[in-house]
Amino acid sequence: MATQKTPTLVELAEKLVEQARELEKVIPAPPTFQEDTLANLPIEYEKTRLSLIDTSEMFTALVRGSDGPYGRVMRIASYQYLDEVALYAIHHFRIPHRVPLNSSISYADLADQCQIDIDRLTSLLRMAITFHMFYEPTPGYIAHTADSRLLVADTSAFDFIGAVSMEHKPATLKVNEALEKWPGSPEPFHAPYSLAHNTDKPMYLHLQQHPDRLRQFAGAMTNITRAGARSIALIAKAYPWAALAPGSTVVDVGGGNGHISVWLAAEHAGLSFVVQDLPHASDDGIAALPAALRGRVRFVTHDFFTPQPVHGAEAYFFANVIHNWSDRYAVRILRALIPALKPGARVLVCDRLIPEQGTVPLVEEREIRALDLIMHILLNAKEHTEAEMRALFRAADERFEYVDTHAIPHGLFKICEAVWKP
């Protein structure tokens, strides 16, 4: 059996120094926990950043070893979830919003505001301080770091933590039970989520009954494409939208609050968008639609398992939708388009495709592997490889001709394009 070739600690440390020098050359100042100077790193330097993360994580993992209280196994088993406990409490009690942005607050005052025990609060926050969320400028007082400030400035990041703690987390504890109870089931209501939330409905229908959680989930979705390698800016660059004829309509199926359509409409004055989703999923987007786009971005309620009502559009766009469904249902979603398709209509599926093992930095691979697990946990679905995506279109109908997989380096989203050739 071949053994894994592992660099020595010194080799890794030397590589770290080299990569750190390279990165510091392209940022305004070295990052600190107060100021994230990497926040707007141009995508062309993403490779450098990812290599540095991979090297430093491998270095740390080797130094931890496998055994003992600081070892790799025990880090996951006995400590990692406690970081989450602290983070979820910080979210639940809205701590970031209670800490002044430019000064500090005592634990006593915070405990008063939250109406919880001061010792418990201190324990939770001191745990958070170990992962650089908040710091103590003077004993007994806490102040913001860049991470806690982010949760005040960016509602979608705050919603993301809320959605993970309320929707995903309870479901993670039901994975094994669901695997044993429903082996091989393609049903969305056979997800661990269904057991955890005691529902026989798929997650999206269950959330319809909980408007606050639905709004929070939609906010979390916005966060996914807000910045960095997953940003809408990169989705916009990954596909030649400008090549669509002026006057074309793009139907954003399962478009949520329409944030991708809004972005694309602002960039491409010749295109119009119809955002379709279930009742209430687009409420925030409708309220926030800029007046200038009202003529070109329209929201309608539509269940994508029923026949597509917008006939003759140039393109039908599915962002973060197909991966929410097992193949049996994904095929049904694609087939529901068919009565509306004109010859040459494009079907664009925007998802994160699973790469061949070892072809991308480990940190990037972990992102997509994590998402693959999340799709199982929430929806009994999965992420696809490029070959699986091609097979999905073939299974839906032979007349879908797979054209291309559009991507830009280190943009995490790919756009899979098929054309309708009747």
Ligand X SMILES: C[S@@+](CC[C@H](N)C(=O)[O-])C[C@H]1O[C@@H](n2cnc3c(N)ncnc32)[C@H](O)[C@@H]1O
330 contacts ligand X (rule: CB under 6 A): no
277 contacts ligand X (rule: CB under 6 A): yes
CA-CA distance, 308 to 334, in Å (whole number)? 10
DSSP state letters, 328-382: HHHHHHHHTTGGGPPTT-EEEEEE-PPPPTTSS-HHHHHHHHHHHHHHHHHHS--
Among 85, 278, 310, 338, binds ligand X (CB under 6 A): 278
Q: Where are the alpha helices (DSSP H) in 27-145?
A: 46-64, 72-74, 81-92, 95-98, 107-114, 118-130
Q: How many residues interact with ligand X (rule CB under 6 A)? A: 17
Closest distance to ligand X from the beta carbon of 268 (Å) = 18
CA-CA distance, 91 to 254, in Å (whole number)? 28
Catalytic residue check, 323: yes
193 contacts ligand X (rule: CB under 6 A): no
321 contacts ligand X (rule: CB under 6 A): yes
In the bound state with ligand X, the residue whose beta carbon lies nearer, of 51 and 320, is: 320
373 contacts ligand X (rule: CB under 6 A): no
148 contacts ligand X (rule: CB under 6 A): no
55 contacts ligand X (rule: CB under 6 A): no
374 contacts ligand X (rule: CB under 6 A): no
In the bound state with ligand X, the residue whose beta carbon lies nearer, of 244 and 319, is: 319
Please, are residues 282 and 275 in contact by the beta-carbon 8 Å criterion? yes
Closest distance to ligand X from the beta carbon of 106 (Å) = 40
315 contacts ligand X (rule: CB under 6 A): no
351 contacts ligand X (rule: CB under 6 A): no
CA-CA distance, 167 to 331, in Å (whole number)? 26
Structure tokens, 422? 């009747």
Closest distance to ligand X from the beta carbon of 281 (Å) = 4
CA-CA distance, 235 to 130, in Å (whole number)? 35
309 contacts ligand X (rule: CB under 6 A): no
Contacts for 133 with CB less than 8 Å, ≥ 6 apart:
86, 87, 90, 145, 147, 148
Sheet strand arrangement including 346-351: 297-301, 272-277, 249-253, 315-319, 346-351, 414-420, 400-406
Contacts for 344 with CB less than 8 Å, ≥ 6 apart:
419, 420, 421
In the bound state with ligand X, the residue whose beta carbon lies nearer, of 133 and 354, is: 354
183: helix, coil or strand? coil
- What letter does residue 399 receive in the DSSP assignment? T
Contacts for 69 with CB less than 8 Å, ≥ 6 apart:
78
Active-site residue, from 168, 197, 323, 406 = 323
In the bound state with ligand X, the residue whose beta carbon lies nearer, of 125 and 253, is: 253
Among 55, 308, 320, 326, binds ligand X (CB under 6 A): 320
370 contacts ligand X (rule: CB under 6 A): no
Using the rule CB under 6 A, give the single segment among 104-112, 148-156, 317-325, 366-374 that binds ligand X: 317-325
159 contacts ligand X (rule: CB under 6 A): no
Closest distance to ligand X from the beta carbon of 304 (Å) = 4
CB atoms within 10 A of CB 277: 25
Beta bridge partners of 273: 250, 297
79 contacts ligand X (rule: CB under 6 A): no
Closest distance to ligand X from the beta carbon of 209 (Å) = 13
For the chain, the farthest-separated pair of C-alpha atoms sits apart, in whole angstroms, at 72
212 contacts ligand X (rule: CB under 6 A): no
281 contacts ligand X (rule: CB under 6 A): yes
188 contacts ligand X (rule: CB under 6 A): no
Using the rule CB under 6 A, give the single segment among 102-110, 237-245, 314-322, 371-379 that binds ligand X: 314-322
Among 158, 304, 400, 413, binds ligand X (CB under 6 A): 304
Please, are residues 282 and 299 in contact by the beta-carbon 8 Å criterion? yes
324 contacts ligand X (rule: CB under 6 A): yes
Closest distance to ligand X from the beta carbon of 324 (Å) = 6
Which residues form the interface with ligand X (CB under 6 A)? 204, 221, 254-256, 260, 277-278, 281, 302-305, 319-321, 324
Query: Which sequence positions are flagged as catalytic?
Result: 323
